[in-house]
Structure 1
Amino acid sequence: MFWRMAGLSTASPVETILDKENFTLEELLDEDEIIQECKALNGRLINFLRERAQVEQLIRFIVEEALEDAEKRRTFKFPFIACEIFTCEVDIILKTLVEDEELMNLLFSFLEPEQPHSTLLAGYFSKVVICLLLRKTVPFMRYIQANQDIVKKLVELIGITSIMEVLIRLIGADEHMYTNYMEAMQWIEDTDVLEMIVDKFSSSDSPEVHANAAETLCAITRFAPPGLAAKISSPSFIGRLFRHALEDARPKSVLVNSLSVCISLLDPKRLTLGVYHHTYNRQITQGPPVTANPETVEGMLESLGDLLKLLEVSSAENELLTTYGKLQPPLGKHRLKIVEFISVLVTVGSEAAEKELIRLGAVQRILDLFFEYPYNNFLHHHIENILVSCLESKNVPLIEHLLHECNLVGRILEAENNYKLAADLNKPTVPCEGRLPPRIGNIGHLTRISNKLIQLGNNSAKIQAYLQENSEWTDWHTNVLSKRNAVENVFQWACGRPTALQDRNRDSDDDDYQDRDYDVAALANNLSQAFRYGIYSNDDIDEAHGSLERDDEQ
């Protein structure tokens, strides 16, 4: 090769070390070019590293913590280089490891309870195990099947994200795994791994454990083999999940993360698409409705009443000061998650779910939250989705319940007529003292809901008749809503504002862009100039950071 020709390159430092009579593994690991030489399949180097003694020492660097007084290279460099050697995927080195049971036992000794399990070494351990799983699937799975206690140990350490990733891949809950190795993993379906994971909600108080357990279960709902998928969607498993979620003494993170699993069971794609994409995509393209196993839905309905009771209670009874006033108490993450769960449940189109929501008065209570917390846009998006789903439902009693018992139109008109935040100390959201009360922050959502009502009224005689009977609605529609829609029609603007996502309902052809008078690059440049020349002060930036830190409370 060109760089090996005499006179054109110097000898590799790795070759210099290999030329010595008595060199050590540590000398090689301390050389920066060792990874490059591994990837270049340097024969002399590979033959040395493939020896059992060297593989064992590499594993020890990864699974054993260095002593407190050890050199920095032993603490940081050697474990990193050892991990990189394995992940170079040199077949003969991986073969030495995976075919030696004692070496595999040494590797998985990292999972023993008495080990410190540092985040750094956990990451290296995870990379090596996943590399073996991908490149030596059959012998690796054979070893795991013969040592099934490894699965239990992985679950015990699920709070470490690197360990969680190993568990997800091991049980087949990864879209890139096991397309050709279904037989090698069939045994995992007969284990009680799902029960072990869900019981972490009860056995641990750590929010990290709860979040990672939920992420693992969500991954199973998306990509797991049929056996595990059937088990996790069964009513008995749903009941077990809700029992943990609704325990009074458990942290609210259990409820929040349990509901994430339920949401993923109802709509497996939701967690990968994100909240906003899901909401807008559904409203614009009118894609196929979400479908879910009826037995799964019925299993969730058994606990729906107890779940809705939690909407009356906030996890934070304290006051939270904001730029517009104070929250007393804040909405709380768990109540927001309950509303999100209802939002997905409604989109399933289950008649049983709709009847239960009517019976329990769920929509009415959720509508109350919409007006009690007029600045929580996360809440507003979910509730708008609920209202639109109810209005689009084929279940006439649900539509009538929303229009009559919930008085949707009346509440819209009341908010529009009293668009300033009320200074009522008995309400959760109170304006600042000594300042003019601000405009409520959900007018935009009310506008979209109103337009949706009118749109559906054109295709529904019942909705049309209901709207026409209300003279106040007719006047407001003519004198306020129609003019607002004309002002907010961005296709008529010439001030440089790009269109919003929900307004992009035309083809992106040349004529469409020629009609617009904005320059995105210029807008971005203007914004950067504003920050550069101090138009926005550091106080503004600090305030933004502070608001992020309080997201959990709101």
Structure 2
Amino acid sequence: MYWKNNPASNWDSIFDRENLCLDDLMREQNLLEELKGQNKKLIDFLTKPDVALALVRLVTQEPQENEKPEMRFVLPNLACEILTSDIQPMYNVLSHEEDIWKCFFSFLEDNEPPLNSLMASYFSRTLCSLILKTGTQDWYTYQFNCLKALEKVTYKGNFIDLLLKHLDTSAIMDLIIKISTLLEGPPLRSNIFTLFEKEQLILKLVNTLDSKNVSIRQLNAAEIICAIEVASELHPLEQNPLVISIESPETVNMVLVKIFGQTEKTESTLLGGISILQTLLMATKLKLVKLLNKYYFNF
């Protein structure tokens, strides 16, 4: 049996063992319950830099194919649960350790598309936990750790290209959407907007609408653009350079060229381009309605 049952009262004795290793600890049946119960010894052990790095490797390095199918992703799944268990010391070590970020970037750099969908979901969920605010985080700590994470991806220099390399994986598309739309606080949002605009996210997404790209890449690119445009309605007074880029005449013209100007057209190119134009039309209509309502109310 893989799991070993240990009553909560026995947990303190676990850490008295000599040469206790992560693999042994992950075989304890009620590990997650103890972690969520804020067991200090457990948290201290799991947030050691070398242990946290080992956990990150489990969610970024695909298990060997010769493992039993029913067991192959047990440890990566558990590692993801540990890394995203809303424990503040874990956020601290993940956002600051250079070797951990090397693992994150290597997952995108070293693997060719398509990514294993399970591994991509573990990776995306872990990264989101560092950038998006969780329920128990205080505002100061969230901003501090998020800024540190954004500093890492900014310094990398080609983060957007690495993500777009795997645009045919739904978990990566979701990651881009969440990072682009769900950050809290104007300073953090401004930072990510500036980074994504500098790396020409919108231009690269529109250029993905091309018959040489597989259908899922094109449709995912269009979905990201639409999601960013729709989410901007939640912050109507915000100067979002991504939205400005989406709504620019140059971008609209590019989308029209993708739909009508290419010699070879695919259904996904047409669907993606039309969905972008429809979203822009709806956004324009909504802004007009709000403007008219404001005018009549003041009148």
What is the match of residue 227 of structure 1? 241
2:108 counterpart of 1:111: yes
Q: 1:187 aligns with which of 180, 190, 194?
A: 194
Superposed CA offset, 1:115-168 (max 9, x none) = 562000100001000000024211111111111311111112122111111112
Give the match's secondary structure for 1:222. helix
What is the 5 A alignment of 1:369-388? none
Residue aligning to 1:541: none
In the alignment, what sits opposite 1:243? 257
Aligned structure 1 segments of 4 or more residues deviating by more than 6 angstroms: none
- Please give the secondary structure, in 2, of the residue aligned with 1:19: coil
Q: How much does 1:102 deviate? A: 2.0
Q: How do 1:93-492 residues align onto structure 2 when only pairs under 5 Å count?
A: 93-115=90-112, 117-134=115-132, 135=142, 136-170=145-179, 172-174=180-182, 177-179=184-186, 181-188=188-195, 189-202=197-210, 204-224=212-232, 226-246=240-260, 247-268=262-283, 290-291=286-287
Q: Following the alignment from structure 1 to structure 2, what is the Cα–Cα distance between the partners of residues 133 and 70?
A: 33
Quick one: which amino acid aligns to residue 224 of structure 2?
T
Amino acid aligned to 1:33:
N
TM-score when scaled to structure 1?
Answer: 0.45
Structure 2: gaps (5+ residues) = 1-5, 133-141, 233-238, 289-299
1:66–1:74 Cα contact (<8 Å) kept: no
Q: 1:253 to 1:22 in 2, by over 3 A?
A: same
Structure 2 Cα separation of the partners of residues 40 and 250 of structure 1: 56
Report the CA distance shift for 1:13/1:250 in structure 2 as closer, same or farther (over 3 A). farther
Q: Distance in 2 between matches of 1:216 and 1:61?
A: 28
Matched position secondary structure for 1:103: helix
User: Percent same amino acid among aligned pairs?
Assistant: 25
Q: Is the 8 A contact 1:86 1:128 kept in 2?
A: yes
3-state SS of paired residue (1:205):
coil
Give the Å deviation of 1:53.
1.2
Residues 156 and 220 of structure 1, relative CA distance in 2, 3 Å threshold: same
Q: Distance in 1 between matches of 2:130 and 2:55?
A: 15
Deviation at 1:90, TM superposition (A): 1.2
Deviations 1:297-345 (A, max 9, x none): xxxxxxxxxxxxxxxxxxxxxxxxxxxxxxxxxxxxxxxxxxxxxxxxx
Pairing partner for 2:55 from 55, 58, 64:
58
SS of 1:268's equivalent in the other structure is helix
Contact 1:13 1:33 (8 Å CA) reproduced: no
- What residue identity is the alignment partner of 1:127? R
Q: Render the CA deviation track for 1:77-113: whole Å, top value 9, x for unaligned.
A: 1101111111112111221121112211112211115
Write the letter of the residue equivalent to 1:76: F
State the shift of 1:253 in Å.
1.2
| Mapping 1:60-75, distance limit 5 Å | 60-70=57-67, 75=72
CA gap of 1:31–1:231, structure 2 versus 1, over 3 A, is: same
**CA deviation profile, 1:9-49 (whole Å, cap 9, x unmatched):** 95456445323222221121122211111111111111111
How far apart are residue 177 of structure 1 and its match? 3.7
Indicate the SS of the match to 1:244.
helix
Inter-CA distance 183–263: structure 2 relative to 1 (3 Å threshold) = closer
Deviates more, 1:123-132 or 1:23-32: 23-32
Shift of 1:179: 4.5
**What is the RMSD of the two structures over their aligned residues, measured on CA atoms?**
2.5
Aligned 8 A contact 1:151 1:193 in 2:
yes
Say which SS state the counterpart of residue 112 (structure 1) adopts. Answer: helix
CA distance in structure 2 between the aligned counterparts of 1:182 and 1:146, rounded to whole angstroms: 17
CA distance in 1, matches of 2:32, 2:226: 36
2:115 alignment partner AA: H
Q: How many residues align?
A: 264
Structure 2 counterpart of 1:147, one-letter code: K
Which structure's relative contact order is higher, taking Cα pairs within 8 Å and 6+ residues apart? Answer: 2
Q: Is the 8 A contact 1:62 1:125 kept in 2?
A: yes
Separation (CA, whole Å) in 1 of partners of 2:21 and 2:153:
33
Shift of 1:186: 4.6
Amino acid at match of 1:153: L
| Residue matched to 2:139 | none
Larger fraction in helix:
2
Q: Unpaired runs of 5+ in structure 1?
A: 1-8, 270-288, 293-554
- Does the 8 Å contact 1:218/1:268 carry over to 2? no
Distance in 2 separating the partners of 1:114 and 1:223: 31
The amino acid across from 2:171 in the alignment is S
Change (3 A) 1:257 1:178: farther
